[in-house]
Structure 1
Amino acid sequence: MRDEAPRTVTAICRALQQQIEHGLLPLGGKLPAERKLSELFATTRITLREALGQLEAQGLIYREERRGWFVSPPRLDYNPLVRSHFHAMVSEQGRAPSTDVLSARLVPAPVEICELLELPALSAVFQIRRARRVDERLVLYVEHYLNPAYFPGILDHDLTRSLTELYACQYGIHYGRVRFDMLPTALHPDAAAALRVSPGSPALRIVRRNRDQHGRLIDCDLEYWRHDAIQVRVEVPE
């Protein structure tokens, strides 16, 4: 009896994975409710959720709070060597991008931001919090921190658009040297709420520290991607 639950979990995982691979469960499609799935596989909700959790860890399915389980759509290719921005990157891959502004205000700079932007203690920065979607699916929570000396009045502009384009059009500022730091992480409560998942869900944290064409540190981004939303793909030229 003790071996029955693990065998059932394996059987559920195999069955759902095969359905996904053969297109019977379409990418982006919603799975039946947990109650129906547990009845279908003649098992308990606890055993079913263990199987669903394993498939989620593999990036095959994902869960949204109060909405249920879905088949994960194809991952985006993320190449840090290519000069681009979110909307352009997504559109170039035949997908539909959109951005929601969660908040935009002047705040005291947290210690990490002071270090990233080489600011003195008790500095103020513009903080812009945004949630970003691909084909209407929430995939990215990002906190932008801007040195206000370079972007006067920016909070009065449309912040759903690309900041890269806004910088260029309104301030004549273009990105120069950029540093990326990538690390697997667990979503903190603000990021989890924005992405409609449980706190502690796996994610990829990307910290971007950006200089402009004159070498000035102008802003930094703290990005939190759903772990199944992107794949980092880099091709180094000869």
Structure 2
Amino acid sequence: MSTNMRLIEPVPHATGASRAPLKDHAPLYSQIADILRTHILQGAYQPNQQMPSESELMGAFDVSRITVRQALGNLQSEGLIFRVHGKGTFVSRPRAFQDLGSLQGFGTAMREMGYETHSKVLSVRTVTAPTRVVERIALSGRVTELRRLRFLNRAPISVDVSYLPLSIGQRVARADLANRDVFSVLENDCQVALGHADLRISSVPATAEQRDLLSVDLHAPILFIERVIHTSEGAPLEYEELYYRGDAFQFKVRVERQAAMP
């Protein structure tokens, strides 16, 4: 059969899969990856569902094993599938993402992409500023500590801990934090213009509390973000510690190459 007229049969075990032509204008492995990616994103393959075997895909697409492996390699590099030695290939749990290139609240960013999001306030306390807060934003004495559990499509996604000056923190605590971002409260209720944020990102093992809140294994890797929010005038205002499920969320940022110095 000519490659520019090659057709595939419905992919095995994929509900709603359809016949699709593979043409000469792009590599076969890239076209196969596109077809499988569409099935995954449209829900024909569910999270954690086993994908067809390499042999089944070879037969469905009438291609070689190396072509199938290249297609699956593309999908794996995108985080859409994962492989378990001796068992096969499975669909990954979808990962939402947030762009670090703009200072935007989590809830606002996720709703703009069509996700459902809300928060559960775990605690609001007046505490003595921890040493790390004093060091990061020069805020000493009594401060407001706000702890929230964030949900994405009704699944727990992060534990957020924020520290604010007491006068501002008390106003923030009275807001509807189940449905509003702190950023929105600061700008609209407290009339504080936000400017920029400094971030540090690392991986830390989940604590017992985080295991229970985020439904992860004890000591599973957690994406940890330490963030300092500054006002438009450059003054540090809020210190945050954000703990995200590493298997369900990711951050993206665009970095421009700087011109080389002469």
TM-score after normalising by structure 2: 0.61
CA displacement, residues 118-173 of structure 1 (integer Å, 9 cap, x when unaligned): 134xx221111111111111111110111114444332222221111111121101
Q: Distance in 1 between matches of 2:224 and 2:100?
A: 13
The alignment covers a number of residue pairs equal to 182
Out of 175, 178, 196, the position equivalent to 2:215 is 196
Q: Distance in 2 between matches of 1:71 and 1:126?
A: 42
Q: Is 1:115 aligned with 2:174?
A: no
Q: How many angstroms does 1:188 deviate by?
A: 2.0
Q: Is 1:155 aligned with 2:173?
A: yes
Q: Is 1:225 aligned with 2:244?
A: yes
In the alignment, is the contact (CA less than 8 A) between 1:181 and 1:208 conserved in 2? yes
Q: Is 1:85 aligned with 2:105?
A: yes
Q: Distance in 1 between matches of 2:152 and 2:243?
A: 14
In the alignment, is the contact (CA less than 8 A) between 2:103 and 2:196 conserved in 1? no
Q: Distance in 2 between matches of 1:95 and 1:232?
A: 15
2:151 equivalent in structure 1: 133
Q: How many angstroms does 1:25 deviate by?
A: 5.1
Opposite residue 125 of structure 1, the aligned amino acid is V
Opposite residue 218 of structure 2, the aligned amino acid is P
Q: Is 1:146 aligned with 2:171?
A: no
Q: Distance in 1 between matches of 2:186 and 2:48?
A: 34
In the alignment, is the contact (CA less than 8 A) between 1:202 and 1:227 conserved in 2? yes
Which one has more relative contact order, counting CA pairs under 8 Å at least 6 apart?
Answer: 1
Q: Distance in 2 between matches of 1:173 and 1:105?
A: 22
Opposite residue 107 of structure 1, the aligned amino acid is V
In the alignment, is the contact (CA less than 8 A) between 1:183 and 1:205 conserved in 2? yes
Q: How many angstroms does 1:100 deviate by?
A: 0.9
Q: Distance in 2 between matches of 1:189 and 1:117?
A: 28
Structure 1 residue runs without a partner (length 5+): 1-19, 30-57, 62-69
In the alignment, is the contact (CA less than 8 A) between 2:103 and 2:197 conserved in 1? no
Q: Distance in 1 between matches of 2:202 and 2:97?
A: 17
Structure 2 residue runs without a partner (length 5+): 1-35, 50-78, 83-89, 258-262
Q: Which moved more, 1:78-87 or 1:147-156?
A: 147-156
Out of 180, 183, 187, the position equivalent to 2:206 is 187
2:21 equivalent in structure 1: none
Distance 1:194 1:60, change over 3 A: farther
1:168 equivalent in structure 2: 187
Q: Is 1:215 aligned with 2:217?
A: no
Cα RMSD of the aligned pairs, angstroms, is 2.8
Q: Distance in 1 between matches of 2:224 and 2:217?
A: 16
Opposite residue 177 of structure 2, the aligned amino acid is L
Opposite residue 79 of structure 1, the aligned amino acid is D
Q: Distance in 1 between matches of 2:124 and 2:170?
A: 13
